[in-house]
Amino acid sequence: MKKVVVVTGASSGIGLALCERLLSEDNELHLCLACRNLGKAEAARVALLSSHPTAEITLIQIDVSNVQSVFQASRELKQRSLCNRNLHSIVLWPLLLQNLLGVLLYRFEHLDYLYVNAGIMPNPKLNLKALFSGLFSRKVFHMFSTAEGLLTQDDRVTADGLQEVFETNVFGHFILIRELEPLLCCPDIPSQIIWTSSSNAKKSNFSLEDFQHVKGHEPYSSSKYATDLLSLALNRNFNQQGLYSSVVCPGTVLTNLTYGILPPFIWTLLTPVLFLLRFFVNSLTTTPYNGAEALLWLFRQKPESLNPLTKYHSATTGLGNNYVKPQKMDLDEEAAEKFYQHLLDLEKRFGTIRAKSLDSRSDK
């Protein structure tokens, strides 16, 4: 049976590079690109099919910063998600037409891999004082490898009344996982959830009393530490049901997000320096292809053999050779369980939206 792989945030950056590498690894898998923008997702699908013309690639629309969108996407994935490759364009047709052609679609009963990759760092601002002080300190390599202290962000509140970074990077994916439990939990066929985390996930920036990071100025770091905690909690609660979770750091990758931090001409000047620094800092993976190394490595592993307290880092040598560097995380199992319970409590607030979403579907 073909492996079924769902990747959120698959239309660009590390997500798209991962999809390319997954298809190069196993051209027989069934790949679902779960993206907010269907236009960009379709362009990504076309690009992937140009190099893998026989691949089966489906699109699903999801905005993980919107709970209703997550419920709708989850329902589509459970009910009929993947369609015959000759019907790929159906996902761009109106929903009513999809329903009329529903007989041509087929279901799947299990997800082998869920790559939780979509995420944001809104309006990152460079702390110039921290940058220049770090350049002349012993922490210069640590600073460039983790970006610790270099970036601050201005968060905002979503339509759901949640902090945007928290909802996008953590809670939206938590709801997705909860809704997909029937497809992920099968003791006889293990499933893997693989989170794109960060080495910038700092315990000092996270608080159980303020897990949405309303009061702080490091929402990205807080959210990534939260995903690490959630991954540990998922293992504690679901390993016996065949569900395993791991976290990955892609390293320092130059994507649209990072390019927006500094003017283009500065990046042009910095690029040779960054490649030189790779001889000293192996976390400077630089390209999305390199950053996807650990994500692909986990695809090859038996999930039962992985340590839930380990974060798997993509790394690149000065000569451009990729490898994976495991590193133990600074996590407390009790805190992980408490955070998991907080998320379960928060989930209850959106029970009405879920019920309305189900009702609207049944009426169509």
Whether 220 is catalytic is: yes
Q: Which of 113, 115, 220, 340 is catalytic?
A: 220
**Tokens coding 61:** 């629309």
Edge-to-edge order in the sheet of strand 56-61 = 56-61, 30-35, 4-8, 113-116, 191-196, 243-249, 310-316, 322-328
Q: Tell the residue number behind the tokens 């299990």, with chain if given.
A: 110
The shares of helix, strand and coil residues in the chain, as percent rounded to the nearest 5, are 50, 15, 35
Angle at 153 between CA 165 and CA 230, to 5 degrees: 35
41 and 12 Cβ atoms separated by less than 8 Å? no
Do 335 and 349 contact (CB within 8 A), yes or no?
A: no
> Given the structure tokens 């649209």, which residue do they identify?
256
Q: Which residues are catalytic?
A: 220
